[in-house]
Amino acid sequence: MSLAARGGERGQGTVEFALVTAGLLAVVVACGALWRSLEGGLFVEHALTAASHHVQGVAPGAVADVFLY
């Protein structure tokens, strides 16, 4: 098939390559941001903060009921 016959398909491969490259770059950047958050202890800090607030607000009888069930 000649170039003239293909018409609008001439840049399709380039566009697909650009889209896949942009998607891959976004995944790499997201993984890097997640790695930094995990390495910095951000998720552990939030989990400890949330757990301490939850335990403080629960009556001692409710905790005993859960563990003795």
Which residues neighbour 55 within 8 Å (Cβ) at sequence distance 6 or greater? 63
The pTM of this model reads: 0.55
Which pair of tokens denotes residue 56?
Answer: 């403080």
The closest alpha carbon to 53, from 43, 64, 61, 45, belongs to 45
- Distance from first CA to last CA of the chain, Å, rounded? 75
Give residue 33's pLDDT: 94
| Site of tokens 């976004």 | 26
Average pLDDT of span 19-42: 94
What's the chain's average pLDDT?
81
Average pLDDT of span 16-22: 97
Residue of higher predicted confidence among 45 and 59: 45
3-class SS of residue 56: helix
Report yes or no: 68 and 61 within 8 Å, Cβ to Cβ: no
